Structure 1
Amino acid sequence: MKLAVIVTEFPKSTETFIYRDLTAFLAAGVEVRLYHIAPWRHGQPLHGFAAPLRERVRDIGFWQPGAMLRALRPAVLAGVAQMLWAYRRHPKIAAKSLAMLPKALAIAADARAWGATHVHAEFAGHPATAAWLGRRAGGLPYSVSCRAHDIFRTQALLPQKLGEAAAVRTVSDFGRDFLRRTVPVLADRAVHVIHSSVDVARIAPVETPPSRDPFRILYVGALEPKKGVAHLLDALALVGPALGDWRCELIGHGPDADALQRRAAALGLSERVRFRDAQPFEVVAQAYADASVCVAPSVIGPNGRQEGIPNVMIEALAYQRPAITTAISGIPELIRDGDTGLLIPPGDPRALADALLRVHRDPHAALAMARRGRAHVEREFDLAKNARRQLDLFFG
């Protein structure tokens, strides 16, 4: 079996959830060819576990004069007209979509010539647009994974891209229900919920209660508005004296990094809050194992940007560490308040401070929650099970 996969960017350190799936497909004997829409991200680290993907990447440029002949097909011209009309209120998306047309058609031709039998688009944004345009040019059947901002930000062109897909997958029940409510063509169609996953069998759960001396607070993720990291800093300023000897590590990078460091300094937290930038997953894994509590203070950001289910919370529970996050989007499907972790309202530093204090005061109860969280991940978020379900969707 040969599978062509389209992503937006490669490599991208925050997309471990995609790379885990692809390495699982390789382990199952599937040949994978990976295409990226944006130019190669030089200087972006590729996690060690994802190294086998590097030789599977096909780097196709935007300048594809030969592909333009295929753009003259009536089905492609009709698709371009639909695309420009659908994105008439989103000129930046329209321009980017039009610019990638030759590349999308070249990807379709390359995948067919390679012998692929299916194309999978990771995200319903530009990757799905590329797969849809390629199919209209005589390319292969395709499927789409819908995650979060790719469907929440705008539903423009989703009826066409998802309506013509051979299969549609979301990572949460929340996402499925949202699509059925906002994209009428999907109301009566099968929309498959297959959660993002971790390789649970390879992760040894930490059996010790959370350390109180020091109390180690961990955040992993991008430093951008929808992640709500400023609320974590505000919560630490509120509760810090009650946590005794505490430390907070922030692993990740993003546009808010400098502002967050200034905020930490203004709040008098600089000696206890450490900004570590993006790290290889091997370093992140050790940080999970050492953490007393893992926090994802997600909020609904500008233009409706929000999480699906934060992969970092799945990872935290796989390591059997207490987890605190917010009750938005599909997150309550993973974190059930008081059962598998603690849920708080988004943008509420006081509630986050109280949740941190709760873990600190009763580490044994926090460990019991983490054990239930690990069991939940084993049932619903296991890589081996969910990779098999995706392959059945592609080739079944």
Structure 2
Amino acid sequence: MRICIVTGEYHLPGETFINRHIQHIFGGAAAVVCGRYHGENPYDVAWFNRRGRDTGLADRLMMPLAVGINRLRHGTGRLPFGQAKRELKAFLKAQRIEGILAEFGTQALAVAPLANEMGIPCFSYFRGTDASKALNQGNIPGAYAKMMPRLAGVFSVSQFLLDNLAARGVTHPNAHVIPSGVNVRLFRPAEKRPLSCLAVGRMVEKKAPLVTLRAFLKASEGLAGAHLDVIGDGPLLTPARALVAEAGAEARVSFHGAQPHEAVRDRLAGTEFFLQHSITAANGNTEGLPTAIQEAMACGCLTVSTRHAGIPEAVDEGRTGWLVDEHDEAGFADAIRSAMTAGNRAAMAAEARQVAEDRFDNQKLLEKLERVIRETVAG
């Protein structure tokens, strides 16, 4: 089946879940429509850049009317029109596209009406921001509600996001929870460094890295060999370094900055505990179901995290990890301490690995995604 992946930017190395679809869905038969093209096409696919096109005089004159009509009809002015729309239609026809998968709900807004015009089934994948922060933008809930009847189906990485949408009146009868998953053949446990901890992710409010650091420093007091590695970059990296320096704890915490995916995988394999204090940001932004937690479980790491978004759908409290409420720094410290002093860590690590194989094997999840798309299109 010939599928077109619609995404905001191509190619972004960090969007492993989208890149896997581009490379492997239906045997690697995808084309790509993107909002921004970054000059790399590592999967050698046909691509179309929606925003990187010349706008003629006629389209510039028509823009206010076209945007206004689209906002009235579809709740958004993001839809292509004029020459851009004609070129996109020509691309989809030339590529013999049989289905469209928009990797975020906000991307589906731009292509669902055109897909309907062309008789191409269109699906959307909700992943986090598009079903949390985006819902606080005045026009988005209404635009999503108008879009839903135009979609053949909806996917989400967690039930939490579908519930978030439903709370705003946005539902679809053909909705499925399919996590992004992890390659369990590459992410595997190795010999664990005792009392080793790892935190991975952008150093931003949603990840609450300063809470993680303070909780770890408190939990690891008196535990010889306890060490936290931090991978990631972002605006809170400088304050994080300052916090550790002020505590005189440089020997217990190492900052590695942004690292390639392979380096994260190697570090996870030998790490005993994965720490992630995810919270809802002030602007409403949440996780979907963090890929890093799925990768950590595949590597046999015990997770200490929060009851946030889809995380409780992955981590079974007391069996594969520990969860606390958002912003509960003292509770997070106690949970880290409990993890590092637990006597059944090996059994819990084996359970975490088994859960990853059963629930988060991305090959099985990709096959499920393909099956739902095929059955929906056939129906």
So what's the TM-score if we normalise by structure 1?
A: 0.82
Q: Which runs of 5+ in 1 are unaligned?
A: 88-93
Query: Please, which of 348, 355, 360 is the counterpart of residue 335 of structure 2?
Result: 355
CA distance in 2, matches of 1:226, 1:146: 18
Task: Give aligned pairs, total.
Answer: 366
Indicate the residue corresponding to 2:153 in structure 1. 167
Structure 1 residue 10 displacement after superposition? 2.7
Indicate the residue corresponding to 1:375 in structure 2. 354
**After the TM superposition, which of the residue ranges 348-357 and 381-390 deviates more from structure 2?**
348-357
Indicate the residue corresponding to 1:111 in structure 2. 92
Determine whether 1:388 maps to 2:363. Answer: no
Supply the RMSD in Å over aligned alpha carbons: 3.0
Indicate the residue corresponding to 1:90 in structure 2. none
Structure 1 residue 383 displacement after superposition? 1.2
CA distance in 2, matches of 1:8, 1:101: 21
- Which secondary structure does the structure 1 equivalent of 2:105 belong to? coil
Indicate the residue corresponding to 1:80 in structure 2. 71
Indicate the residue corresponding to 2:101 in structure 1. 120
Structure 1 residue 329 displacement after superposition? 1.4
Structure 1 residue 225 displacement after superposition? 0.6
**When you count helix as a share of all residues, which structure comes out higher?**
1
Structure 1 residue 182 displacement after superposition? 2.1
Any conservation in 2 of the 1:198–1:318 contact (CA below 8 Å)?
Answer: yes
- Which secondary structure does the structure 1 equivalent of 2:102 belong to? strand
- Which secondary structure does the structure 2 equivalent of 1:303 belong to? coil
Indicate the residue corresponding to 1:336 in structure 2. 316
CA distance in 2, matches of 1:184, 1:371: 39
| 1:15-164 to 2 correspondences below 5 Å | 15-25=15-25, 28-40=26-38, 52-53=42-43, 55-65=45-55, 68=59, 78-83=69-74, 86=75, 97=78, 106-125=87-106, 127-135=107-115, 138=118, 140-153=120-133, 154=135, 155-164=141-150
**After the TM superposition, which of the residue ranges 132-141 and 339-348 deviates more from structure 2?**
132-141
Structure 1 residue 53 displacement after superposition? 2.4
Structure 1 residue 227 displacement after superposition? 0.8
Structure 1 residue 114 displacement after superposition? 1.4
Any conservation in 2 of the 1:7–1:122 contact (CA below 8 Å)?
Answer: yes
Any conservation in 2 of the 1:21–1:383 contact (CA below 8 Å)?
Answer: no
Indicate the residue corresponding to 2:273 in structure 1. 293
- Which secondary structure does the structure 2 equivalent of 1:163 belong to? helix
Indicate the residue corresponding to 1:211 in structure 2. 193
Structure 1 residue 361 displacement after superposition? 1.5
So what's the TM-score if we normalise by structure 2?
A: 0.86
Structure 1 residue 102 displacement after superposition? 6.8
Change (3 A) 1:379 1:75: farther
CA distance in 1, matches of 2:16, 2:112: 25
Calculate percent identity across the aligned residue pairs: 25
Change (3 A) 1:139 1:105: farther
Q: Which runs of 5+ in 2 are unaligned?
A: 136-140
CA distance in 2, matches of 1:128, 1:249: 38
Indicate the residue corresponding to 1:190 in structure 2. 174
Structure 1 residue 184 displacement after superposition? 4.8
